[in-house]
């Protein structure tokens, strides 16, 4: 595999990414990744709403100190920040946070949906209440926050939104059916909102971080933990919410390494819908999985268009064969 390494000494950027005059809301910003995101945005000039309910790793024991401490840290460094303890699982609380932000600063340019907690168990042992709680705090919280700022960003003709997805959603992980389902659902949300926001200059992306936080610290060795810092992920977030940001990107980030993940479509096979169609699919499974010529569809309609095109070609060939045999 070809390797690419870029260091500060090897590559200088003539135009530093700045957020002067912009307002950012970062949920789950009291610790870990959210804190690193908030500090980076503030350091680059953004006014930051530091949102955090202050809950424990499993969502229990809320408290206000985490958000207030990070907001105070930003102000101590010369930045502007306000703390919010709004629960992202509460529609009214989210709307109140957004309304307060608009009263204070008059605009919202950036939303980072980062809040969440874990309730890991194998699917057999998982209570449905725990499944619902994770879907609510990861997926529906992002929906609530995004819905609350969406029309503001459209009216401004400017907005940058990031959904925090996960490798557990993209690729699966034992004991995280609830978390993986919610995190993959965020990808689908991002894909559609990216399409809907395009003409309004509202760009929507996903960040899939690998970082040592209180949610993941048990998974890695001490050596890996020293590399997988939240601060090593934050530059990816900065890129995704910058003026020149892409849209509909899934950026994978960890330990200062960055890549992208994509939902792809292989070049279809055509077997028709006859009585042996299922057997033909099974017989050509390797060709079905062949990634040569795969594409990243720009919308869901491309799948249907590819399938219809294959069917039309097959019918045309069949028709031509019949004519040739007459």
Q: Where are the alpha helices (DSSP H) in the chain?
A: 32-43, 65-76, 91-105, 128-135, 141-156, 167-171, 177-197, 222-227, 234-240, 277-283, 285-289, 301-325
Q: Where are the alpha helices (DSSP H) in 117-176?
A: 128-135, 141-156, 167-171
Model pLDDT, residue 1: 67
Here the tokens at position 126 are 């998982």
Residue length, the chain? 326
Beta partners for residue 161, in sequence order: 111, 204
Question: Does the active-site annotation cover 270?
Answer: no
**Contact in structure between 158 and 198 (CB atoms under 8 Å):** no
Model pLDDT, residue 154: 98
- Tell me the average pLDDT of the chain: 93
The torsion of the CA quartet 212, 216, 220, 221, rounded to 10 degrees, works out to 70
Contacts of 236 (CB under 8 A, 6+ apart): 207, 209, 251, 253, 258
* Residue ranges of domains in the chain, CATH in brackets: 23-261 (3.40.50.720), 277-325 (no CATH)
Model pLDDT, residue 215: 58
Model pLDDT, residue 224: 85
* Catalytic pick among 6, 158, 179, 270: 179
In angstroms, rounded to a whole number, what is the distance separating the alpha carbons of residues 187 and 190?
5
Model pLDDT, residue 3: 78
Average pLDDT per 10 consecutive residues for the chain, totaling 326 residues: 68 80 98 97 98 74 81 98 97 98 98 96 97 98 98 98 98 97 98 98 98 70 89 98 98 97 96 97 97 96 96 87 67
In angstroms, rounded to a whole number, what is the distance separating the alpha carbons of residues 305 and 294?
14
Q: Mind giving me the DSSP string for 279-307?
A: HHHHHTHHHHH--TT-B--SSTHHHHHHH
Model pLDDT, residue 286: 97
pTM for the predicted model, two decimal places: 0.93
Model pLDDT, residue 318: 80
Here the tokens at position 47 are 């006014």
Model pLDDT, residue 172: 97
Q: Is the dihedral of CA 242, 244, 250, 255 positive or negative?
A: negative
Model pLDDT, residue 214: 62
């Amino acid at each position: 595999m070809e390797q690419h390494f870029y260091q500060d000494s090897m590559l200088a950027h003539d135009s530093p990414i700045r957020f002067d005059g912009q307002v950012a809301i970062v949920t789950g910003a009291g610790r870990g990744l959210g804190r690193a995101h908030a500090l980076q945005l503030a350091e680059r000039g953004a006014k930051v709403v530091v949102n955090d309910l202050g809950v424990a790793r499993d969502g229990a024991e809320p408290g206000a100190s985490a958000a207030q401490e990070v907001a105070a840290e930003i102000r101590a460094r010369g930045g502007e920040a306000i703390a919010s303890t709004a629960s992202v699982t509460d529609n009214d609380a989210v709307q109140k946070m957004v309304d307060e932000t608009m009263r204070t600063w008059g605009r919202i340019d950036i939303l980072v949906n980062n809040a969440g907690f874990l309730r890991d168990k194998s699917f057999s042992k998982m209570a449905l209440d725990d499944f619902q709680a994770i879907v609510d705090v990861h997926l529906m919280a992002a929906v609530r926050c995004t819905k609350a700022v969406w029309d503001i960003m459209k009216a401004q003709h400017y907005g940058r939104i990031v959904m925090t997805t996960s490798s557990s959603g993209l690729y699966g992980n034992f004991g995280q059916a609830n978390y993986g389902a919610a995190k993959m659902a965020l990808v689908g949300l991002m894909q559609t909102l990216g399409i809907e926001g395009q003409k309004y200059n509202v760009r929507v992306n996903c960040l899939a971080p690998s970082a040592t936080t209180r949610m993941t610290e048990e998974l890695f060795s001490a050596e890996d933990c020293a590399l997988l810092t939240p601060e090593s992920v934050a530059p990816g977030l900065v890129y995704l919410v910058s003026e020149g940001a892409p849209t509909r990107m899934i950026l994978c980030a960890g330990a200062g390494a960055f890549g992208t993940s994509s939902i792809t479509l292989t070049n279809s096979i055509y077997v028709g819908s006859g009585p042996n169609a299922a057997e033909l699919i099974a017989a050509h499974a390797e060709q079905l999985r062949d990634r040569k010529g795969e594409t990243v569809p720009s919308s869901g309609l491309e799948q249907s268009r590819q399938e219809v095109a294959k069917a039309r070609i097959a019918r045309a060939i069949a028709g031509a064969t019949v004519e040739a045999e007459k």
